[in-house]
Structure 1
Amino acid sequence: MILLDTSAIISILRGDSEAKSIVDRPAGEGFCTTTITRFELFSRVYHRGLVKEGRVLRRLVKGLNLLTFDEESSEKAAEIMGVLLRAGRPVNVIDVLIAGIAVANGVEEIVTTDRDFKTIEEVYGHLKVVLLTRS
């Protein structure tokens, strides 16, 4: 399963060819996102009053498996944050929560433009990150 982070979904919505090429390839069990990513995306929609974008976004995320932040993922996220803090390389807590969900659910890779996930990959391991070029 391939997890699409908030920034990857935004890139897809903007028509970024690199992001679209990722979702056009075979993905084994498919693509997923998290309830946290959904929160981030829809916060932007409601904040800016983006009614049309909200409709498009709903159609897009409806086709994705939705992973939730539960007991197992919260413990994995805490483990990841502990490793990052011990290494002196803390990152945004939201990204750690998403990474915890990914690890707990056996996600094969995370697609993102966010370099914090690369830091998590380098320091913690257990995740493969595909870093898209910011458009």
Structure 2
Amino acid sequence: MIILDTSFLIDFFRNAHLASAIPADSKPATTVISYYEVMSGIKRIKSPKESQFFSHFFSDIEMLPFNLSAAGIAADIGGRMASHGNLVNAFDICIAGIAIANHAKEILTSDTDFLEISKYSGLEVRRYDRAGNSAGQKGQ
């Protein structure tokens, strides 16, 4: 399973060719945190086109929850990062916690916070360029 991060979802809305960045052998999923980030942005800008696109998209993809297991994993990652003075977006840490709790091996994103998170979590980060090409992976 590969997690589609919020940055990928927004870029995918703008360029459907980005689907080619999703590895053919990986089942895509996203998280309730990304749902929140995307939908709150849509509500803020009041975009009917984006609302329709994402309503359909989110009904067709596996949506992973933020539960007690994910929260515990995220707390561990966030605590270790903070103790080393490495602070990143808390939502991104929660997304990583969800991914790990659901045994996802990697996340597809353009958000550099995940490169830092990967150092503390073991979550593989797959970056992409906006043309839809995978830019490789960055491990721990």
Common fold by TM > 0.5: yes
Among 48, 53, 72, the residue aligned to 1:51: 48
For structure 2, the residue ranges without an aligned partner over 5 or more in a row are 132-140
Correspondence list, 1:120-131, <5 A: 120-122=117-119, 124-131=120-127
Correspondence list, 1:31-70, <5 A: 31-70=28-67
Counterpart residue identity of residue 82, structure 2: L
Counterpart residue identity of residue 87, structure 1: H
CA positional deviation for 1:47: 0.8
Corresponding position of 1:111: 108
CA positional deviation for 1:83: 1.2
1:85 matches 2:82: yes
Query: Separation in 2 of the partners of 1:89 and 1:134?
Result: 28
CA positional deviation for 1:61: 2.0
User: What percent of counterpart residues are identical?
Assistant: 34
The alignment of Structure 1 onto Structure 2 pairs a total of residues equal to 131
Query: Separation in 1 of the partners of 2:99 and 2:46?
Result: 30
Alignment root-mean-square deviation, CA = 1.6
Among 62, 67, 71, the residue aligned to 1:74: 71
Query: Separation in 2 of the partners of 1:131 and 1:16?
Result: 16
Counterpart residue identity of residue 35, structure 2: R
Normalised by the length of structure 1, the TM-score is 0.89
